[in-house]
């Protein structure tokens, strides 16, 4: 498939696209990103690369990193994990508090903020040096040794993280946070601060297109069953209260972040990453979703 040619065709089609989304401004450091940036990168499981636009510029991957923390926690805890977090779509915004009260501190899924905070708590209980060990895991998965946290973003999120602090406190009151709240918050903000380019993103998540095997080292990082289940969670919960619409329009499992990034998996074929910082009302990249919709339509590569 000539992905490069298809990228160019879509690029032309999107020339007059009205990107009337807004950049995430509740995190001060994200609000200063150039809103016109646009990048795409696709990596196939056989190591072929295709890119468009600003695909080699680093940006804050934000909640996309929640798939990586889930991967490590699932490896460490196996099915025990699901006692502390569910696998149901939330149908609510990413930072919503509303379901936590009725669900007695058990988040609906690991990809909303509440769920990711519980996953951070679990990782802190398992890892000797949580931040160091976690970034080492991300580097192993991606095969890229330069991937790192961004201290500027961490500080920026800490200064305005009122809702996340509320979520963690509410869950602690129900006994679903075991570690010190400040330690959990620090780990969570570091997780969200990880920076990657579109190229790095699409390489990093390729293991979910290969049923858990790292394409660059052939090491199995996750069992086939666990890889399938993470894809299933992304399909149903990867886009907050827009997961249905993403499935409807794009038809691939994936995950978005408020930095404007989206990565999506076509099993046994490729991982694609897009970046466009302006978000729709649900907190997902407006132009990014449009690009992916056109891409899976033209290539007929939806899983459905």
Instruction: Show which residues are catalytic.
Output: 63, 66, 188, 240, 258
- Cβ closer to ligand GLU: 51 or 164? 164
285 binds ligand GLU (CB under 6 A): no
| 8 A C-beta contact, residue 288 and residue 277 | no
From the CB of 301, what's the least distance to ligand GLU, in Å? 25
- Cβ closer to ligand GLU: 150 or 230? 150
272 binds ligand GLU (CB under 6 A): no
Cα distances (Å, whole numbers) of residue 73 to 110, 119, 194? 10, 7, 18
Q: Tokens at residue 295, please?
A: 């891409």
Q: Which residue minimizes CB distance to ligand GLU?
A: 63
| 8 A C-beta contact, residue 58 and residue 147 | no
Out of 19, 95, 121, 242, the residue judged to bind ligand GLU by CB under 6 A: 95
Q: What gap in Å lies between CA 69 and CA 92, rounded to an integer?
A: 21
Q: Tokens at residue 282, please?
A: 């649900």
- Cβ closer to ligand GLU: 157 or 200? 157
Out of 44, 51, 54, 62, the residue judged to bind ligand GLU by CB under 6 A: 62
Q: Please state, as a whole number, how many other Cβ atoms lie within 10 Å of the Cβ of residue 13.
A: 13
Q: Please state, as a whole number, how many other Cβ atoms lie within 10 Å of the Cβ of residue 79.
A: 10
Out of 71, 113, 142, 276, the residue judged to bind ligand GLU by CB under 6 A: 113
N residues, the chain: 304
164 binds ligand GLU (CB under 6 A): yes
Name which of 260, 253, 209, 258 is nearest 40 in CA terms: 260
157 binds ligand GLU (CB under 6 A): yes
Q: At which residue do the structure tokens 């500027």 appear?
A: 152
Out of 258, 271, 286, 294, the residue judged to bind ligand GLU by CB under 6 A: 258
From the CB of 93, what's the least distance to ligand GLU, in Å? 9
From the CB of 27, what's the least distance to ligand GLU, in Å? 7
The sign of the CA dihedral 35, 194, 207, 76 is negative
29 binds ligand GLU (CB under 6 A): no
What are the residues binding ligand GLU (CB under 6 A)?
62-63, 94-95, 113, 157, 164, 192, 257-258, 283
């Amino acid at each position: 498939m000539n992905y490069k040619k298809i990228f160019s065709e879509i690029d032309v089609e999107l020339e007059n696209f009205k990107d009337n989304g807004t950049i995430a401004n509740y995190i001060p450091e994200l609000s200063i990103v150039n809103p016109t940036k646009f990048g795409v990168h696709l990596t196939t499981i056989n190591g072929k690369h295709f890119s468009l636009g600003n695909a080699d510029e680093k940006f804050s991957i934000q909640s996309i990193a929640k798939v990586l923390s889930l991967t490590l926690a699932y490896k460490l805890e196996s099915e025990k994990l699901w006692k502390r977090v569910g696998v149901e779509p939330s149908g609510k915004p990413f930072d919503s508090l509303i379901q936590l009260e009725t669900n007695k501190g058990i988040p609906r899924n690991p990809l909303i903020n509440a769920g990711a905070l519980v996953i951070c708590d679990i990782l802190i209980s398992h890892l000797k040096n949580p931040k160091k060990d976690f970034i080492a895991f991300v580097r192993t998965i991606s095969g890229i040794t330069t991937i790192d946290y961004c201290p500027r973003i961490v500080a920026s999120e800490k200064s305005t993280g009122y809702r996340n602090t509320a979520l963690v406190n509410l869950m602690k009151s129900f006994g679903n946070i075991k570690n010190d709240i400040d330690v959990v918050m620090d780990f969570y903000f570091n997780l969200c601060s990880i920076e990657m380019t579109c190229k790095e993103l699409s390489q990093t998540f390729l293991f979910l297109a290969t049923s858990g095997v790292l394409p660059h080292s052939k090491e199995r990082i996750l069992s086939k069953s666990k890889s399938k289940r993470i894809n299933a969670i992304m399909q149903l919960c990867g886009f907050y209260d827009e997961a249905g619409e993403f499935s409807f329009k794009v038809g691939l499992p994936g995950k978005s972040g408020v930095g404007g990034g989206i990565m999506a998996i076509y099993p046994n074929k490729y991982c694609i990453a897009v970046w466009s910082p302006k978000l729709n009302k649900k907190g997902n990249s407006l132009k990014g979703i449009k690009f992916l919709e056109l891409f899976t339509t033209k290539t007929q590569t939806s899983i459905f």
